[in-house]
Chain A
Amino acid sequence: MRVLNQLAGIVEAELKALTREAGVFIFVVFFPFMFSLLTYGAGQTLTGGGASPTQWFYQLIGFTIMMIALTMSSSSAWYFRRGMMTGRLEYILAAPISPLIAVLSSALTNTIFNIAYFIVVAAVGVIAVYGPYYLVHIVGVILFLALALLPVIGFNLLVGILTIFFREPEPVSNLINAVVSTVSGFTYPIILLPSFLQTLGQIMPYSHIVNGARDVLAGSFRLVQLSPHLFLLGYLILGLVAFRVGEAVYVRKSGVHW
């Protein structure tokens, strides 16, 4: 109960902090539209007007999930970095609260924020391409994302721990974001990639998330598509284990305890 109270308290505080960042929200909502319209315009040009709205929708959803994946993958990294810069990390580690709860609360807040963000963008896309009738599928996507984003939290913890050792979140997250964006089929089918990059894309959770979200929105999702997600939960376990190990090493090196 105490843990749940701590979790709820931090989530509430983090959500309040997010509401103060209106510019960030506007940017993340605007970005998938800007980029998908840019590539759609280029596509119209390249094909002599042959680009279809469903291709634009494919990329809109892809860019949206990509933004979610990128922000979620590096949120813990920034959390640690800010903590290390301000000296707050030592206080968190020394406080009578599990650091994992603090980090997970931050990740949970991001998940809530990102699902809300997805609803806004996807609703506009669905209405524009499929019509308002398909809006009901967004409920299914919320449920799907709530499950499918769990492995990303594990991934997030792994990147966060790397930040503790490399000390700089930007190069670490930049590298991981580049690989994730390229091999996950966010904006093009991964079949266009060389086979080893296709394999890498299928090992990571993101291609399954984006394809699943597209299928749910289009009404073609089958329950059997959930099976890879059960295996991908391994990332969550791996992230939790890596976090515990990294935390122990950092605590020992920095000499903080309570």
Chain B
Amino acid sequence: MSGRAGFIGRTVAELEKGLIIYARYKIWLFSDLISWPFWTIFFFLSFLMYAPSLLSSQYHLNAFTWSFFTFILVSSFIWASNFLATSAQAGILEYVILTGSSIREHMLGRSVVSFIDLAVGGPLLLLISAVGFGTKLSVAYPYLMLIAIVLASAFFYFFSSMLAVLLVSLRSPWIIINVAQFIIPFTSGAIPVEVLPVELRSIITYSPFFYVIHPIVASATGQYFMPPELVLTVGGILCLAIYLASRVLEDVLLRRAFRHGKFTLF
């Protein structure tokens, strides 16, 4: 089946597949629900060990809670890029291509798990912060926060598709993913800009990830480093650019796969 109906059918099938796989492993849900609170406490205290006095500053607690919210978002989506290499290693990818499905559609089946992780882990993080650390959670600009979360989710869905294509032939892509999940958010605006030294503030604006990560934290604290319209517009343009880049890379990968019989860009 081709055309719009075919696209919708394949997309629904991928979403269904993702949900079925997730529901099949109930132990995962149980594990996530218990482990998230512990990881949150761990990361909170690892950062705040240097300044435990901030545990009594409501502004910083709120800001850092949203910092870790962005970390959960980035981590949830970026781990989806492991999926393509796993599919290739298991010999599934060839069959997926034969169905006429694109790699991005195939990734959607895994990304739906990322959305669930965010939908479960995000609110849980907020709850733990409020109950465990006594944080009075607040969002200065709820409307901008909604846009920022949608924008960041779309951006990292396309980014993980692109990363998946780049890492498809690696035996251990998790190494790069593991590093990237920490480096990307915490060097690109997850740490509230206003607490950074002055000389660092302008440097982090050169990171493209800044324009999709900073809006989440800034919408909560109300401290946008640049006018919100500018940040979100640049973020939207970058989202479009990463979508196009993921399409180009996917085409290159498929052409090379048809020509050489193996999935690799290199």
CA distance A192 to B49 in the complex (A): 9
Contact B178 A27 (CB under 8 A): yes
Contact status of A178 and B34, CB under 8 A, knowing A42-B50, A47-B51, A193-B41: yes
Contact status of A166 and B50, CB under 8 A, knowing A23-B172, A27-B179: no
Closest B residue to A181 using CB positions? B42
Interface residues on B, range: 35 or more
Contact A171 B28 (CB under 8 A): yes
Residue B183 CB within 8 A of the other chain: yes
CA distance A189 to B196 in the complex (A): 25
Contact status of A27 and B42, CB under 8 A, knowing A46-B54, A59-B49: no
Choose, from A33-41, A150-158, A226-234, the stretch at the interface.
A33-41
State how many angstroms separate the Cβ of B35 from the closest Cβ of chain A: 4
Contact B28 A168 (CB under 8 A): yes
State which of A38, A182, A189 has its C-beta within 8 Å of the C-beta of B41: A182
Residue of B28, B38, B42, B175 with highest tally of chain A CB at under 10 A? B42
Contact status of A174 and B195, CB under 8 A, knowing A43-B47, A182-B41: no
State how many angstroms separate the Cβ of B24 from the closest Cβ of chain A: 10
Closest B residue to A194 using CB positions? B132
Closest B residue to A26 using CB positions? B175
CA distance A96 to B172 in the complex (A): 33
State which of A34, A51, A174, A187 has its C-beta within 8 Å of the C-beta of B182: A34
CA distance A39 to B50 in the complex (A): 8
Contact status of A43 and B28, CB under 8 A, knowing A35-B182, A178-B35, A187-B42: no
Q: Could you tell me how many residues of chain A have their Cβ less than 8 Å away from some Cβ of chain B?
A: 42
Contact A38 B182 (CB under 8 A): yes
Residue A145 CB within 8 A of the other chain: no
Instruction: List, in ascending order, chain B residues with CB within 8 A of A170's CB.
Output: 28, 31
Contact B38 A182 (CB under 8 A): yes
Contact B46 A187 (CB under 8 A): yes
Instruction: List, in ascending order, chain A residues with CB within 8 A of B171's CB.
Output: 23
Instruction: List, in ascending order, chain B residues with CB within 8 A of A166's CB.
Output: 27
State which of B25, B41, B42, B200 has its C-beta within 8 Å of the C-beta of A171: B25
Instruction: List, in ascending order, chain B residues with CB within 8 A of A55's CB.
Output: 49-50
Closest A residue to B36 using CB positions? A178
Closest A residue to B55 using CB positions? A192
State which of A30, A59, A179, A187 has its C-beta within 8 Å of the C-beta of B179: A30
Instruction: List, in ascending order, chain B residues with CB within 8 A of A50's CB.
Output: 50
The 6 lowest CB-CB distance pairs between A and B, nearest first, are A43-B50, A171-B31, A178-B35, A178-B38, A188-B49, A46-B51
Question: Chain A residues in contact with chain B, CB under 8 A?
Answer: 21, 23-24, 26-27, 30-31, 34-35, 38-40, 42-47, 49-51, 55, 59, 166, 168, 170-172, 174-175, 177-179, 181-183, 187-189, 192-193, 197
